[in-house]
Amino acid sequence: MYTLAIDTTAKTASVCIVKQEGGEFMPLTHRTENCGFTHSETLLPMIDTCIKGAGITADDLDIIAVSAGPGSFTGVRIGVACAKGISFGLNAKGKAHRCIEVSSLFALAENVKHYSGYIICPVMDARRSQFYNALFKVGRNGELKRLCEDRLPEASAIYSELSEKYAGKKILLVGDGALLCKKLFDKITAESGTDAPFTYTVCDPVHMYQDAYSVAKAALYSKEAKEVSGASLSPIYLRASQAERERLEKEAAAK
């Protein structure tokens, strides 16, 4: 069984082909770019390279796994639209397959669940002083356990919750907002005049950003991954787009 996994929810674009056979889970090809290039230009060539490198064709795909958000509006749309297009093509040829949506924050937590004893805190920079965020811990069986839903708080709100609920715990920041969030945590701590009630650190750079291999693992093994039809694949947004916000502001001003 072959899985194509895609993540374009931030500046990083990542694609992976995974083979699952006889209980084994093997990444055959894996490509990630974090150069800031436009996903609409890079994603399809990356997918083509990974499929050819795995020695298969698109017709051999059994599962299409995509990180459906939250994240960059344009990035999320590109990834989901690409997954839908591949699914439609397989449908047209009568190829049976499955489509699976994964939370980008869950996939980021999957990157670092090998860190021992941490509360995992994925933070993606959502601009406007906000972060796409959730909290996770690793259970005894190595499975990720969600501690809250995906959300859109400011750093101060995350800091307050960690102080109240996770005092004395070790917090691991992961995601493209990790360095910025740590900087803001440092500022809040300095202004408070006391040490933070919890300890916090940023994960290593190799595991900090979106990774399609983690999307594949989450899609195949996580209970929270959502299987849908290709036609039902849809982006996960936690706030209105800038265009939508501007439209609503104009409508409100016109009243």
Contact assessment for residue 103 and residue 150, using Cβ atoms and an 8 Å cutoff: yes
Domain with 138, as residue range(s), is: 105-207
- Say which DSSP state 67 is in: E
**Number of independent structural domains in the chain:** 2
Residue 97 belongs to a domain: yes
Residue 181 belongs to a domain: yes
Residues 66 and 149 in one domain: no
Local confidence band at 252 (pLDDT 50, 70, 90 cut-offs) = low
Q: What is the pTM of this model?
A: 0.92
Residue 253 belongs to a domain: no
Residue 65 belongs to a domain: yes
Q: pLDDT tens-digit profile of 125-180?
A: 999 889 999 999 999 888 999 999 999 999 999 999 999 999 999 999 999 999 99
Residues 175 and 239 in one domain: no
- Closest by CA position to 103, among listed 126, 74, 80: 80
Residue 67 belongs to a domain: yes
Element (H, E) at 134: none
Residue 249 belongs to a domain: no
Residue 248 belongs to a domain: no
CATH number of the domain where residue 111 is located: 3.30.420.40
Interatomic CA distance for residues 101 and 234, integer angstroms: 8
Q: Is 90 exceeded by the pLDDT of residue 185?
A: yes
Alpha carbon 196 to chain centroid, angstroms: 28
Residues 166 and 233 in one domain: no
Residues 31 and 118 in one domain: no
Interatomic CA distance for residues 40 and 21, integer angstroms: 32
Residue 255 belongs to a domain: no
Q: What pLDDT was estimated at residue 242?
A: 54
Residue 154 one-letter amino acid = E
Handedness of CA 111, 115, 121, 124 (dihedral sign): negative
Interatomic CA distance for residues 84 and 95, integer angstroms: 14
Residue with tokens 């939370």: 103
- Closest by CA position to 14, among listed 214, 197, 149: 214
Q: Is 70 exceeded by the pLDDT of residue 84?
A: yes
Cis before 153? omega within 30:
no
- Rounded mean pLDDT, 120-125: 98
Interatomic CA distance for residues 218 and 72, integer angstroms: 20
